[in-house]
Amino acid sequence: MSIISIQNLSKRYLIRHDIGGYAGLRERLAHPIKSFQYRMKNKPEEFWALNDISFDIEKGDVVGIIGKNGSGKSTLLKVLSQITPPTRGKAILRGKSASLLEVGTGFHPELSGRENIYLSGVILGMTRKEVSEKFDEIVAFSGIEQFLDTPVKYYSSGMGVRLGFAVAAHLDTDILIIDEVLAVGDAEFQKKCLGKMDDISKKQGRTILFVSHDIDAVKNICNKGICMKSGTIARSGDIDNVVDYYLNNKDN
Amino acid sequence: MPEIIKIIQPKEKFHWRDITELWKFRELLYFFAWRDIKVRYKQTIVGIGWVIFQPFISMVVFTVFFGNFAKMPTDGAPYPIFVFIGLLFWQFFSTAVSDISICLINNHHIISKVYFPRIILPISIIFTRLIDLFVATGILIILMIYYRFMPGLTGFLIFPVLILISSMAALGLGLFFASLNVKYHDIRFVLPFFIQLMMFVTPVVYSSSILGQYSWIMAFNPIGGVIKTARSEFLHSFATNWTQLGLSVLACVAMFVVGWMYFRVTEKASVDTL
């Protein structure tokens, strides 16, 4: 059975054009009739960010999702992460899943590195016990031992990214959903992260969904690929085929 | 392999799973409360002193003006104790409501990146504010000792019930405003004014007995009913009107249900609209 099966998934966004482009109760109360007429005349515009998408992902696959900006990649990840509900269709995830849509999710600048490791870990779905068990590993991976008790607001952006990724890399889940988080951080650390992701999928047999614009990175670590185009799947299958398709069709 | 199957589909109607799910996220609830408490004490210079300072200074100011100059009737207790019982619940209620009303906006960076039942945030705020309430209760006890005032011991028995009622009322009203805030971004500018107005229709600085035969109206303001009951039990100057407390409970349950239902409708859209 596929670990992820997605059936006819669609997501619609309604784009409202409110008076002044700003939704205020003041406008509604001050001009109730005008505002009502306006809303009746200007029906919100529909935008299908995902349009009837279906595919299956097998256990242990590392799937790279590529496509131009606005093709629906991030919306797909948001729906699979349960951040926003789909409008139609469904997705079935068989296993524990975690999403990494941002490095350092839930970090609070006033709290220390140590405190943020716990906070971010728990927000990403770990239990407190799991964080404690992996604490030393996380710290070692991030390489910020000396600054563990410094508030994160004094960290350089690179240090923040390191710590954030270190927490996320130790998530113990069957499915990991990752948005372009590697676009940040220096080349050396990027390599380390890619290595870690490779490690996770190969040795531990986890399934990874990975969105990136970095074609080389995608080619390196993914074995399957999905190329998206205006909310639909343009091509899916082996990563090399999909990347070739993407590069050939990039300009139109 | 123990299968965890997650099915993602368009949000259906209420399901019991929504409630049992909260238990799974109890650690997150704890960490949100822990974060808010930590950050609050790191940001203010006075730190933990603020929790003591705020109700204490309010009490002093109210005592000077309403107790000494205006000579408000206090149902027979020293004015500081009388007003402090009101302030205890009022400050818990008002700070919780205003914190909850902006919690979706304040935590937007987390909500837009990770899934968890959104109601965890408002509930964690209730717990954060409960800590302030317990500290303030300590001050109340010190005040009673200072004035050698022997409170009605039944007050302490009914205290947890009153806290529960105020928490539910704060959660209900807070959820309602949080949802409105998602839809209309200008609500947060009106809210402080609304809360201030609410303080005047709540017997915080005055006794509900000044309303005479109309004092039953106060029952429909849950927090007013709570303060009235707390005073009648602690100050044992008049008998508790259980019917009125029952009305307050009904009013608070109604507030909670309405706020929660509205929140459920807007929470799924909150990421898309904020």
What pLDDT, in 10s, does the model give residues A157-193?
888 888 988 888 888 788 888 887 666 666 777 777 7
List the single residue in A with minimal CA-CA distance to B113.
Answer: A101
Most B CBs within 10 A among A6, A12, A84, hence the mutation to make, goes to A84
Q: What is the 3-state secondary structure (H, E, C) of A133-198?
A: HHHHHHHHHHCCHHHCCCEHHHCCHHHHHHHHHHHHHCCCCCEEEECCHHHCCCHHHHHHHHHHHH
Distance (Å, rounded) from C-alpha A75 to C-alpha A93?
17
Residues of A in contact with B268 (CB under 8 A): 84-85
How high is the pLDDT of residue A18?
Answer: 57
Instruction: Quote the CA–CA distance of A203 and A205 in Å, as a whole number.
Output: 6
Residues 6+ apart with CB under 8 A from B5: A92, A93, A94
- Angle at Cα A174 formed by Cα A172 and Cα A178, nearest 5°? 85
Q: Which residue(s) pair with A225 in the sheet?
A: A64, A237
Residue numbers in B near A28 (CB within 8 A) = 184
- The answer, yes or no, to whether residue B13 has pLDDT greater than 70, is no
By C-alpha distance, the chain B residue nearest A111 is: B39
**Range name among A200-209, A220-229, B58-67 with the lowest pLDDT average:** A200-209
pTM here? Answer: 0.87
Question: What pLDDT band is residue B1 in, cutting at 50, 70 and 90?
Answer: very low
Work out the average pLDDT over B192-221: 84
pLDDT in tens, B195-204: 999 998 888 8
Cβ separation B115–A81 shorter than 8 A? yes
Q: Do B114 and A99 touch (CB under 8 A)?
A: yes
A205-231 pLDDT, tens per residue? 788 898 888 888 888 888 899 999 988
ipTM: 0.84
Say how many residues make up chain B: 274
Using a CB–CB cutoff of 8 Å, tell me whether A82 touches chain B.
yes
Nearest partner of A131 among A147, A109, A116, A151, judged by Cα = A116
Q: Mutate which of A8, A76, A122 to test chain B, going by most B C-beta atoms within 10 A?
A: A122
The answer to whether the Cβ–Cβ distance between B9 and A25 falls below 8 Å is no
Answer yes or no: do B5 and A94 touch at CB < 8 A: yes
What letter does residue B215 receive in the DSSP assignment? G
- Higher per-residue pLDDT: B21 or B90: B90
Residue contact A25–B4, C-beta within 8 A: no
Of A220-229, B39-48, B178-187, give the range with the top mean pLDDT.
A220-229
Q: CA A20 to CA A24: how far, in whole Å?
A: 9
Question: Which residue in B4, B110, B187 is closest to A123 by CB distance?
Answer: B110
Q: pLDDT: is A199 or B144 the higher one?
A: B144
- Look at residue A122 in the predicted model and tell me its pLDDT: 94
By C-alpha distance, which of B220, B237, B231 is closest to B162? B231
